[in-house]
Amino acid sequence: MNHSQDMNAKLARVCKVFRIKGTFQSYEEIKVGNINRTYKVNFIRDDGKPKSYIVQDVNTYAFKEPVKVMENIDYVTEYLHQKSPKKTALHFHHTRERKTYFVGEDGFWRLFNYIPSVNYSVCDDLEVVRNAGLAFGEFQMLLSDFDASLLHETIPGFHNTRQRYDKLRAVVEADPCGKVAEVREELDWIFSVEDTACRLIDMHRQGKLPLRVTHNDTKINNVLFDGDTKEAIVVIDLDTVMPGLVGYDFGDAIRFAANDVAEDCPEIEKVGLNLEVFRAFAEGFLKHTASTLLPEELDTLALSSFVMTAELAVRFMDDYIQGNPYFKILYPEHNLVRTRCQIALAKDMLARMDEMEQIVRECAAGNC
């Protein structure tokens, strides 16, 4: 059997476990996302109509306790559905044992509804960006009274920047693949900004920034849009919904969307912060959240963009030095290219912090 036939058979088996009715037609891999493997599977139902689903093979290297990930998702999707029943929601199918996952020899599988939509990996359409901001802001508002003690920490210390730095130090020390000499310059820069990059987590520890329920992975490709109206349909990828700081969601979204280029662009001279995109996202995000945020949270939103970008530089660098066990790569230097791209963006953010802060103040006051 070749790879595609093998995959066909595997996915058909998984669909059967989730009791999907009809005839399996085909599948395509959706290459969005750096962690899990995602497939769209296409069926013809018994009434002759086509119907598609999304099947995912959860990465259990990243998510050591995937059952807990699914428990979080069950709670959160149910809660969101109860609060806004008319909105399109992610719907995870159950196995005969009433589980939203299935552990096979070949992976940890889940299956949910396919939602016809468009999705952007790079986007400079300001209306789309504003709508992404609205969607992530609304997501956080809807979960503002959710009992956070129900949630597992699916990746311990996920955005604990201090811990990320400590881990990088240990990995540099061990240098398991002999890569450190070649990345000295990048490492020197990363460590030179450590205190600034750790300011959010430090402020949280000092009791100045509160925990909320956050998404924690707010790349614009984690929102599905209506291609005609450009409105956001639904926020997806709930694997990392956990207690977190508001800046994690704001900052990560800016890191990804307000870069002039993709996060793995090898042409460093093209990397840069797009302040128009920054403004559009801030306008959407703050529309409903501004009144609920503390002054310290608003004051650190611009900084959070830098923090998340530096943190990603740390994480990509760590993975590169370790031989790429965590992020999917398309070529051996991929994580190094991603690191350099984050460093270039983070530098630009530092240089333009005042402008970002000014925009946040304007948007928070409703004068965007």
Q: Which residues bind ligand GN1 (CB under 6 A)?
A: 33-35, 62, 217, 219, 222, 237, 239-240, 263, 312
Q: Could you say which of Mg ion, ligand GN1, none residue 34 binds, taking C-beta under 5 to 8 angstroms by partner kind?
A: ligand GN1
State the sign of the Cα–Cα–Cα–Cα dihedral 179, 184, 189, 194: positive
Task: Tell me the number of residues near Mg ion by CB under 5 A.
Answer: 2
Nearer to ligand GN1, 152 or 208 (CB): 152
Min dist. Cβ of residue 320 to ligand GN1 (A): 14
Nearer to ligand GN1, 239 or 249 (CB): 239
Residues whose CB falls within 8 Å of the CB of residue 35, separated by 6 or more in sequence, listed in order:
59, 62, 63, 239, 326, 327, 328
- Please tell me whether residue 237 binds Mg ion under the rule CB under 5 A: yes
Residues whose CB falls within 8 Å of the CB of residue 175, separated by 6 or more in sequence, listed in order:
321
Instruction: Name the one residue in this structure whose structure tokens are 């280029």.
Output: 261
Q: Which of 57, 138, 186, 217 binds Mg ion (CB under 5 A)?
A: 217
Min dist. Cβ of residue 33 to ligand GN1 (A): 4
Min dist. Cβ of residue 62 to Mg ion (A): 9
Nearer to Mg ion, 40 or 169 (CB): 40
- Please tell me whether residue 57 binds Mg ion under the rule CB under 5 A: no
Min dist. Cβ of residue 50 to ligand GN1 (A): 27
CA distance 139 to 214: 8
* DSSP string covering 131-199: HHHHHHHHHHHHTTTS-GGG---SSTTTT-HHHHHHHHHHHHHH-TTS-GGGGHHHHHHHHHTHHHHTH
Residues whose CB falls within 8 Å of the CB of residue 284, separated by 6 or more in sequence, listed in order:
129, 130, 131, 132, 133, 134, 135, 136, 137
Min dist. Cβ of residue 318 to ligand GN1 (A): 12
Min dist. Cβ of residue 219 to ligand GN1 (A): 6
- 8 Å CB contact between 335 and 316: yes
Applying CB under 5 A, the span of 74-82, 193-201, 230-238, 253-261 interacting with Mg ion comes to 230-238
- Please tell me whether residue 249 binds Mg ion under the rule CB under 5 A: no
Residues whose CB falls within 8 Å of the CB of residue 84, separated by 6 or more in sequence, listed in order:
142
Nearer to ligand GN1, 33 or 66 (CB): 33
Nearer to ligand GN1, 204 or 219 (CB): 219
Note the residues at the interface with Mg ion (CB under 5 A): 217, 237
